[in-house]
Chains A and B, each alone.
Chain A
Amino acid sequence: DTGVSQNPRHKITKRGQNVTFRCDPISEHNRLYWYRQTLGQGPEFLTYFQNEAQLEKSRLLSDRFSAERPKGSFSTLEIQRTEQGDSAMYLCASSLDSTETGELFFGEGSRLTVL
C-alpha cells in the first residue's frame, strides 16, 4: 500500500506527558500537512511543509506543538506537556500539486486521548 501512513493509530497518555506522532507521506509527494480533528468538526490546519521546509503554521498552534520533516520524507509531530484539550484525531495529508489545484491524500490519523 502506498498511501499515507500514520502511527501510532491510538495513543493514550496522562496530562503533562509528551507524545510524538509520525507520518509517512506518499513517496513522491513534496507537500505534507498536519491537521487536527475533534468530534463533529472539520479538520483544522496545524502546519505544512514543502520538502523539509516548514512554510506555514497556524496562528492558533501552541508552542507546545512542534513538527519536523528532516529529510523531506517522513514527518513527526510532537506535543509537549499534553493537556486534556489536546485530545483529538491528528491527521496527516500529503500532496503533489499546489493546494490551489491539488488533491490532499489523508492518512487514517492518530487518535490522542489525554487523561
Chain B
Amino acid sequence: QQPVQSPQAVILREGEDAVINCSSSKALYSVHWYRQKHGEAPVFLMILLKGGEQKGHEKISASFNEKKQQSSLYLTASQLSYSGTYFCGTLDLNSGYSTLTFGKGTMLLVSP
C-alpha cells in the first residue's frame, strides 16, 4: 500500500525551512527518501531504519517514528538546488515484498 506524503507542494524562498511528511498504514522496516529533478532520475538522499539508525545526506535530516509509521524530512536553510520532487519509499516486510513502495511525491520549489 502506497505511503501518503504531505504536503503535495511547497514553495519557499531561499534560506527558509521545510518539512515533508510520509506516513504509512503498515508497520515499516525502513523509510527511504529520494529527490527527483525535472527530467532527471531520482537520486538517493537518506535511509531511516527501524531501530533508529540513519544514513544519508549531510545537509538534510530526517526522523522515523516507528510506532506511528511516520517519517519526516527536514530541509533547513533551503538552497535553490533543493528544488525538485521528494519521494519517500517504504519497506514493509509483512507485505511479502522486499522492494520499495513510493509515495506520490512532494514538489518543492525554492525561489531566490
Chain A CB within 8 A of B82 CB = no
Flag if B49 contacts A101 (CB, 8 Å).
yes
* A104 interface residue per 8 A CB criterion: yes
Stretch at the interface among A43-51, A63-71, A78-86: A43-51
A33 contacts the other chain (CB 8 A) = yes
Q: Which residues of A contact B (CB under 8 A)?
A: 4, 33, 35, 40-45, 48, 55-56, 91, 98-101, 103-109
Q: How many residues of B contact A (CB 8 A)?
A: 25
Q: How far is the CA of A105 from the CA of B55 in the complex (A)?
A: 16
Give the interface of B toward A (CB within 8 A): 2, 29-30, 32, 34, 40-44, 47, 49, 55, 87, 89, 91, 97-105
* Cβ A56 vs Cβ B102 within 8 A: no
Q: Are A56 and B41 in contact (CB under 8 A)?
A: no
- Which residues of chain B are near A98, meaning CB under 8 Å? 98
- Which of the residues B55, B87, B97, B105 comes within 8 Å of A45, measured between beta carbons? B97
Known: A42-B105, A100-B29, A100-B91. A105 touches B98 (CB 8 A): no
4 more CB-based (< 8 A) A-B contacts, given A56-B99, A100-B49, A101-B49: A41-B104, A56-B97, A99-B98, A104-B100
